[in-house]
Copies of this chain bind each other. A is one copy, B any other.
Amino acid sequence: MANYTTRLHQQIINRKTPALVGIDPRWDWLPREIQSAAETAGGCLHSRIARGYERFSCELLDIVAPHVAAVKPQVAFFEQHGIPGLQALHAVMTYARKLGLIVIADAKRGDIGTTAEAYAEGWLAGEDPDAAAWPADALTINPYLGTDSLEPFVNIAAKRGAGLYVLVRTSNKGAAEFQDRVSEGRPMYETVAQAVGRLSDGTRIDGDLYGCVGAVVGATWPQQLRQLREVMPSVPLLVPGYGTQGGTSADAAAAFHENGLGAVVNSSRGINFAWRREPYASTFGEGRWREAVAESVHEMIRDLAANTPAGMLKHGLDMNPENAGGARTGI
């Protein structure tokens, strides 16, 4: 069973970019052609919306799949619409896997004991999409309940070649309120990061440089990002907050190791609804929304390559851990 992070990195090296595309459909913002088609097919409100979400998300996947390694469907938007919404989510995840994309389910789950185990069993399909009801390669999880609440996820992830991203320092404005509370000279997020580092180290086998337990750290907090990259050297990072939320590629740069690996940077609205903002609104407009999406992905890939160590990926990377030591010097 291949380590999740090794699989992810192989894919990142193939695509030469750590760009991660969020799948965040919102009914009011969908292109009118998608709305109309969904409306015309009829059914209850949730069914019509779900149909629009599925069609839109699958078209997004077609556009981005040749260019990026991974996508991150936001479970909430689908779950909001009940069974039809979740049927759409399942179809979207299945289609993404079929296209060869790594699928990170952004569900922020968390519970204790056998309940945590149930979430892990259900979401962490890992290498084999059929190993769980939801065919995710990786899942975001919440640490508030303690390390013992994360362990059931870690055990199942390690067994199935699946990954986890534990919320450490989130991208929202109010993240500091609880996450920065200092105890014995150390902010909460650092204490959580140390626990995540330990869990991740425990999943490294056969010379893996990274474990399968990752962390979510917002690009909106470059200083904490730099610090956390040092606290958790063997932990793959998921960096939200790039683009619409205000984080830049320069802010996200600290998430990477020197060789351009170790992190994925996510953009959701900025890509999903690219044609609704400038310059794409003028250049393409709603009628050519697919081109706007494609162009916004290319722009993000260029931006990350120019302003972060991810630029190294363009030169081709040696994935043999025996030879990768040099790339990690000075981490």
Contacts and interface: CB of A to CB of B under 8 A. Distances in A.
A167 B183 CA distance: 20
A87 B83 CA distance: 7
A322 interface: no
A85 interface: yes
A36 interface: no
Contact of A118 (B80, B114, B178): B80
A113 B81 contact: no
In the A-B complex, the 7 residue pairs with the closest CB atoms: A82-B133, A148-B174, A146-B174, A80-B122, A112-B172, A76-B118, A146-B177
Contact of A77 (B77, B115, B149, B172): B115
A143 B174 CA distance: 11
Interface string A160-174: 000000010011111
A109 B112 contact: no
A262 B106 CA distance: 34
27 contacts: A24-B115, A76-B109, A76-B118, A76-B122, A81-B122, A82-B134, A86-B86, A108-B110, A108-B111, A142-B142, A143-B178, A144-B144, A144-B178, A145-B167, A145-B170, A145-B178, A146-B175, A146-B179, A148-B174, A149-B172, A149-B174, A177-B195, A178-B191, A181-B181, A181-B188, A181-B191, A183-B183
Contacts of A80: 118-119, 121-122, 133
A128 interface: no
Contact of A147 (B81, B111, B174, B182): B174
Nearest to A171: B112
Contacts of A226: none
A324 B76 CA distance: 40
A27 to B, nearest CB: 11
A267 B38 CA distance: 44
A7 interface: no
A294 interface: no
